[in-house]
Amino acid sequence: MQLLLLGPQGSGKSTQAKLLAEKHNLCFISIGDLVREKSLEDSEEGKRVREIMERGELVDDETVANLFREKLEKGGKSGFVTDSYPRRISQVETYDPGIEKVIDLEIPDEEVLRRLLSRGRVDDTKEAIEKRLEIYHNETKPLLDYYREQGKLVEVDGAGSIEQVFQKVEEKI
């Protein structure tokens, strides 16, 4: 099983992906974790990734694809769940990991704002959250259409408790 969970930040996709990985004995792959690990390496690539992150920029598609592919080769060949790759069409064009099903956790922007502002992180200002939502709508929504056209997209109402959403996700897969 190769699953991708999508949704805006605060939709619970990481939580749900980890639960799916645990229940179905799948490799959980988080690009954010892989990028942070790479940035800590004492290598040319580690230094390059660290500098990109320090500038607040996104790591390029080729690097992200390579990190995903390496993780897949180390432990995800029998199945994986990811909450972070691909996130836009250009990433699928760079490396297509063969996603079988995409679960879109739908949640209104107002709920995203409420959830993220309530967790109290320094970088979770109203303006920053709105900017991340704008990026999500502009870059990730076309990917949803791409998977919808392939018949791989299922939409799940992301409202409710972690357990309630997990039950909805399980029913769809």
At 140, which CATH number? 3.40.50.300
Instruction: Tokens 């990433």: give the residue.
Output: 91
Residue 172 tokens, joined: 């769809």
Average pLDDT (26-52) is 94
In a domain, 55, yes or no: yes
Confidence band of 56 (pLDDT split at 50, 70, 90):
confident
- Give the three-state DSSP class for 46: helix
pTM given for the model: 0.90
Q: What is the pLDDT of residue 91?
A: 96
End-to-end, the C-alpha distance of the chain in Å comes to: 10
- The total number of structural domains that make up the chain: 1
Name the strand (E) or helix (H) holding 131: helix 126-135
For residue 172, give every residue at least 6 positions away whose Cβ sits within 8 Å of its Cβ, in sequence order, or none.
101, 103, 154, 156
